[in-house]
Structure 1
Amino acid sequence: MMEISLSLLQENDAEELLEFETENRRFFEKMVPGRGDDYYQWAIFLERHRELLEEQERGICRFYLAKDPDSNIVGRINLVDIDEATGTAEIGFRLGENYGGKGLGSIALHLLLSTESNLKQIHAKTTTVNKSSQKVLEKNGFIHMGISDDEFEMNGEKMRFVRYLWVSN
């Protein structure tokens, strides 16, 4: 099993992160809506990267990179809409195409949950077709809360959102 670590997003991660996102773009866009061509242009990506760092500095989000022992990015795991007063947040995560199916998503989520001990509840959602994300969430104690009524089509496939909730012990 590959060892991974989590590190908070830093300004000097921009170049490697853009490379990771570009390499995995087609793979990611099979499961989640695309970010548009502009996102992958260096100047625009860098501006967005700085905006994320500002949000992180204000404490409303925390963006983690999952890295292998050689410090290569294998995935991302983000907490957004953090409410310190209630101890709630929403989570999103993605692993690069070459890293799926190895248990790394579960390890990264487990690391995050043990790092973010001040959170009481974390909300998550994925799509009905993204079985691997559902497994990662369930393996880490997220409770299946239901499936949205709204159906949408992506890449010619009909799907709905699946909602999950994690509650600290």
Structure 2
Amino acid sequence: MKHNKLSISLLKTEDAEALLAFERVNRKYFSSTLPDRGDDYFHLENITNIIASIEEEQKRDLCYMYTVRNSDEEIVGRVNLFSVVRGDMQSAELGYRIGEKHNRKGYGTAAAALAIREAFETHGLHRLYASTDPANIGSQIVLIKNRFQFTGRTPEYIQINEKWYDSIHFSLLRKDWKK
């Protein structure tokens, strides 16, 4: 699926080398706002095995993990639909990360828009939700530009680098997205 100069595609084992390069370049940047993945993650064999597991989870409708690529086919980010719940809920959590050198170009907003379309049109979900650090204004802007509504705040929601951080929460219903 494409949006201007960006496209998203489901993560697959063929992406392992390019994804590993992307994650290595951005490790320090990402670990400033997200829990670090640990040294073991950053080996080709390990990341290939992780992607193979994700492919199985995607087949079982548990998650949908996408690479975000620019017009040169370079991975510039990731956008994910995870914690998929079917039955009475029909929901998933939206997550995204854009590489440091690609920030402030609208890529997060565009990638989220593509994943939201996939969530509602391809996967038939009813609701998406997302959480972010209250200090991460860029992430909040991504959500608000994509019609998410603020739903609340949880104190000491996540521990990063041995410190607890609050989280603010947003959600988007399919009917509100279509407006």
Superposition TM-score, scaled by structure 1 size = 0.92
Residue 34 in 1 paired to residue 40 in 2? no
As a proportion of its length, which structure holds more helix? Answer: 2
Instruction: Identify the range of structure 1 (67-76 vs 85-94) with the bigger mean alpha-carbon deviation.
Output: 85-94
Match of 1:96 among 96, 99, 111: 99
How do 1:21-60 residues align onto structure 2 when only pairs under 5 Å count? 21-60=23-62
Contact in 2 for aligned 1:129/1:159 (Cα 8 Å):
no
How far apart are 1:44 and its partner, in Å?
A: 1.8
How far apart are 1:42 and its partner, in Å?
A: 2.1
Q: CA RMSD in A?
A: 2.0
Q: Distance in 2 between matches of 1:36 and 1:48?
A: 14
How far apart are 1:153 and its partner, in Å?
A: 6.2
Secondary structure of 1:160's counterpart equals: strand
Match of 1:141 among 147, 164, 168: 147
Secondary structure of 1:148's counterpart equals: strand
Secondary structure of 1:81's counterpart equals: strand
How far apart are 1:130 and its partner, in Å?
A: 1.4
In structure 1, the residue matched to 2:136 is 130
In structure 1, the residue matched to 2:19 is 17
In structure 2, the residue matched to 1:107 is 110
Q: Distance in 2 between matches of 1:147 and 1:156?
A: 20
Identical-residue share of aligned pairs (%): 34
Q: Distance in 2 between matches of 1:10 and 1:73?
A: 13
Gaps of 5+ in 2: none
Contact in 1 for aligned 2:20/2:42 (Cα 8 Å):
yes
Secondary structure of 1:166's counterpart equals: strand
Superposition TM-score, scaled by structure 2 size = 0.87
Q: Distance in 1 between matches of 2:13 and 2:56?
A: 10
Contact in 1 for aligned 2:80/2:115 (Cα 8 Å):
no
